[in-house]
């Protein structure tokens, strides 16, 4: 092999090395972009999980708020029935005592 052929081969290898370096630089930039994307997706996943947990808590609070009027109505109804029964019993007892005293 002549010196000229060796120089041509070395030049060819140098060209390939420059090309590989350029491709490697591009690959490193692409790898950084992918890493940033992975971090962003992870943040979105965490945020979505937090939103879902908050939505569950809000659902529980909403259910309590929706049930409160029914509970209040039930308590009022119970109090009214209790007052009515107490009134009836008082009236009956009053009549009975009045009848006993009248005798």
- Residues 40-73 have pLDDT tens digits of 999 999 999 999 999 999 999 999 998 888 888 8
> Quick one: pLDDT at residue 102?
81
> Quick one: pLDDT at residue 43?
97
What mean pLDDT do residues 16-22 have? 92
User: Average pLDDT, whole number, for the chain?
Assistant: 92
Q: Which is more confidently placed, 39 or 67? A: 39
Confidence band of 101 (pLDDT split at 50, 70, 90): confident
The phi, psi pair for 15, rounded to 5°, reads -65, -45
Two structure tokens written together for 6: 């060796």
pTM of the model: 0.53
């Amino acid at each position: 092999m002549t010196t000229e052929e060796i120089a041509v081969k070395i030049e060819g290898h140098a060209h390939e090395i420059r090309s590989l370096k350029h491709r490697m630089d591009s690959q490193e930039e692409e790898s950084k972009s992918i890493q940033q994307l992975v971090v962003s997706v992870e943040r979105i996943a965490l945020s979505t999980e937090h939103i879902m947990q908050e939505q569950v808590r809000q659902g529980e609070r909403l259910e309590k708020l929706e049930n409160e009027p029914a509970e209040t109505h039930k308590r009022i109804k119970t109090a009214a029935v209790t007052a009515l029964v107490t009134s009836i019993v008082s009236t009956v007892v009053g009549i009975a005592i009045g009848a006993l005293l009248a005798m």
